[in-house]
Amino acid sequence: MEILQTSKNALSASQVSAVINAPIEKINITDWLLHLPDAEYQRCSVNHIAAGVTTNYEGTPMSVNVEYVGNALVIQHYVFSESRPDYCRMLSVSDTITAAGRSKVQVLWELKAERIDDLTSKYTNTIHATATPEFLKFIEEHDITLDAAAKARQEASDAHNHEETPLFAKSIENLAIYGKYNMPF
């Protein structure tokens, strides 16, 4: 999948970090994501609706997520492009559905864990959204400027990322320390 990321059609970029109270050696972000129960995904944001794992035609793992980002219902089809215990990078051409209609946005999602010390790690959740040609046509048809669309997406994406990142970190921590997801936050 080709990355469309350019400054002229960027919609949003958000990076949020949180502490995981577990040593880096016990963390496996890829395993966490590939086995993330739907209910656990929902616990990590009031805007998370559903999550699951499948593969694309080539057999590459995919994380499929349904959530609200601002006023848009977003169905994400994240194809794994790089995955290790400490890092996962995925790209999605995501369906976005609003009251004005339906379009597509490209989303790059990166999840990273780094060692802080022997007992703690830093989790960083990074999301970049880029306008697809279909999205550019959609906003033009609805008399919305790219600047206005980007401002709205930036605010919504950043607020969403600030909510979910500490809860993702806690979920990763619970799995690393206790071997299960459903521990209290």
CB atoms < 10 A from the CB of 25, how many? Answer: 12
Residue 69, in any domain of the structure: yes
149 lies in which domain range? Answer: 10-178
Domain with residue 22: its CATH number is 3.30.530.20
Kindly report, residue by residue over 83-114, the tens digit of the pLDDT.
999 999 999 999 999 999 999 999 999 999 99
Kindly report, residue by residue over 38-86, the tens digit of the pLDDT.
999 999 999 999 999 999 999 999 999 999 999 999 999 999 999 999 9
Residue 78, in any domain of the structure: yes
Q: Please tell me the pTM assigned to this model.
A: 0.94
Residue 185, in any domain of the structure: no
Nearest to 67 by CA among 159, 150, 166: 159
Kindly report, residue by residue over 144-179, the tens digit of the pLDDT.
999 999 999 999 999 999 999 999 999 999 999 999
Residue 47, in any domain of the structure: yes
pLDDT in the model for residue 7: 67
Residue 39, in any domain of the structure: yes
Q: 126 burial class (0-12, 13-18, 19+ CB within 10 angstroms)?
A: middle
Residue 2, in any domain of the structure: no
What is the average per-residue pLDDT within 115-138?
Answer: 97
CB atoms < 10 A from the CB of 41, how many? Answer: 24
Residue 184, in any domain of the structure: no
When divided into structural domains, the chain yields a total of 1
Look at 182 and 67; give whichever has higher pLDDT. Answer: 67
pLDDT in the model for residue 181: 85
Q: 102 — phi, psi (to 5°)?
A: -120, 145
Residue 183, in any domain of the structure: no
